[in-house]
């Protein structure tokens, strides 16, 4: 499986889990570290999640994702597509 | 507690209709050389900071997630990367997520509200000269209109 496919699967897993994660008030606006379609941990900051992935777990780059647990919409108008 | 503020004042080009500064973006996990540009666009209408995908490729950024973004053309799902950003005032944001998108021509990096809200932001015009100025300071300054607190002044070429 390519790295892209692994990351896509992790993202699909996160999208499915998001409603459940959001239902827990204490998770909101925190960052989920996901690897092999498993939630490794939930952290206060993006930097903390990155450090756990890289330093503690020794995950290889492009095998894990970090996603913010939020229901906020994001807007960027200066995009060409 | 460190009470020092890091700030800058930039005189913008006459008849400007956007706020552009120089800056540097660095791959948090790769070469520390990075990419310097005069095309860092500050956009209070953007919730997130973003980088042009062609620069993300040049810097060999690693994908660390995805984000759904609403654009003028509809909703897109784009990659997120992890970068360090250095602003004109020398303040460095380490390991921050940034969205990879195809930005409009003449913009390499877009500084969105995720970064802007970390500081004090002021766009102003001098009534006597008609010149436009952009000032930014980190951490936020109490009563930012007292500009004497801002540490350095930079004239943009």
**What's the helix, strand, coil split of chain B in %, to 5?**
10, 50, 45
Least confident piece of the model among B52-66, B76-90, B136-150:
B136-150
Per-residue H/E/C for B105-154? CCCCEEECHHHHCCCEEEEEECCCCCCEEEEEEECCCCCCCCHHHCCCCE
First-to-last alpha carbon distance for chain A, in angstroms, is 28
- With contact defined as beta carbons under 8 Å apart, do B65 and B97 qualify? yes
What pLDDT is stored for residue B153 in this prediction? 56
Query: What pLDDT score does A9 carry?
Result: 97
Asked if residues B112 and B93 have their Cβ atoms less than 8 Å apart, the reply is no
In this structure, what DSSP letter does residue B61 have? P
pLDDT in tens, B23-32: 999 999 988 8
Asked if A5 reaches chain B (Cβ–Cβ under 8 Å), the answer is: no
In a domain, A80, yes or no: no
Q: Is the pLDDT of residue B56 over 70?
A: yes
Q: What is the pLDDT of residue B152?
A: 55
- pLDDT of B91: 80
What percentage of residues in chain A have a pLDDT greater than 70? 99
Per-domain residue ranges of chain B: 17-117
Statement: residue B126 has pLDDT above 60: yes
Q: How far apart are CA A18 and CA B151, in angstroms?
A: 43
| CB proximity A67 to B under 8 Å | yes
pLDDT of residue B155: 55
Q: Which of B41, B96, B103 sits opposite A46 (nearest CB)?
A: B96
Distance (Å, whole) CA B49 – CA B101: 10
A75 domain residue, yes or no: no
What band does B81 get if pLDDT is binned at 50, 70 and 90?
very high
A78 in a domain, yes or no? no
pLDDT computed for residue B35 by the predictor: 97
Q: Kindly tell me if the per-residue pLDDT of B139 is higher than 90.
A: no
The structural domain count of chain A equals 1
d(CA B87, CA B116): 11
Q: d(Cα B106, Cα B25) in Å, to the nearest integer?
A: 16
CB < 8 Å to B101, chain A: 76, 79-81
Average pLDDT over residues B63-75: 94
The more confidently predicted of residues B154 and A49 is A49
Domain assignment present for A47 = yes
Whether the per-residue pLDDT at A58 is higher than 80: the answer is: yes
**A77 inside domain:** no
How does residue B5 score in pLDDT terms, banded at 50, 70 and 90? confident
Residue A76 lies in a domain: no
Pairing assessment for the beta strands B92-101 and B50-52 based on DSSP bridges: parallel
Of the listed ranges B34-38, B44-48, B136-140, the one predicted with least confidence: B136-140
ipTM of the complex: 0.92
Closest residue to B71, CB basis, from A4, A64, A79: A79
Q: Are strands A31-35 and A64-68 parallel, antiparallel or unpaired?
A: antiparallel
Q: How far is B22 from chain A (nearest CA, A)?
A: 18
Q: Which of B83, B105, B72 is nearest to B35 (CA)?
A: B83
Q: Answer whether residue A81 is part of any domain.
A: no
> Given the structure tokens 């997120």, which residue do they identify?
B80
Residues of B in contact with A7 (CB under 8 A): 63, 66
Arch. (CATH architecture) of B17-117: Beta Barrel (2.40)
Q: What is the 3-state secondary structure (H, E, C) of chain A?
A: CCHHHHHHHHHHHHHHHHHHHHHCHHHCCCEEEEECCEEEEEECCHHHHHHHHHHHCCCCCCCEEEEECCCCCCECCCECC
Q: What is the mean pLDDT of residues B79-105?
A: 93
Range of the domain at A40: 3-68
Both tokens of B91, joined, read 């303040």
- The mean-pLDDT minimum among A29-33, B6-10, B39-43, B139-143 falls in B139-143
When the pLDDT of each residue in chain B is averaged and rounded to a whole number, the result is: 89
Note whether residue A73 is domain-resident.
no
């Amino acid at each position: 499986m390519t790295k892209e496919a692994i990351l896509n699967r992790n993202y699909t897993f996160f999208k499915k889990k998001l409603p459940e994660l959001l239902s827990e008030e204490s998770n909101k606006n925190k960052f989920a570290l996901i690897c092999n379609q498993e939630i490794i941990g939930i952290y206060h900051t993006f930097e903390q999640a990155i450090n756990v992935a890289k330093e503690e777990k020794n995950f290889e780059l492009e095998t894990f994702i970090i996603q913010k647990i939020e229901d906020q919409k994001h807007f960027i108008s200066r995009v060409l597509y | 507690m460190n009470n020092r503020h890091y700030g800058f004042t930039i005189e913008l080009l006459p008849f400007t209709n956007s706020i552009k500064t120089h800056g540097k973006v660095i791959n948090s996990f790769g070469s520390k050389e990075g990419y310097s540009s005069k095309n860092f666009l500050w956009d209070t209408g953007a919730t997130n900071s973003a980088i042009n995908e062609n620069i993300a490729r040049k810097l060999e950024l690693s994908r660390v997630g995805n984000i759904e973004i609403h654009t003028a053309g509809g909703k897109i799902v784009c990659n997120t990367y992890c970068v360090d950003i250095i602003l004109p005032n020398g303040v460095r944001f380490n390991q921050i997520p940034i969205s990879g998108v195809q930005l409009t021509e003449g913009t390499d990096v877009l500084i969105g509200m995720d970064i802007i809200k970390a500081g004090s932001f002021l766009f102003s015009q001098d009534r006597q000269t008609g010149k436009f100025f952009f000032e930014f300071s980190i951490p936020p300054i109490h009563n930012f209109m007292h500009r004497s607190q801002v540490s350095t002044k930079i004239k943009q070429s």
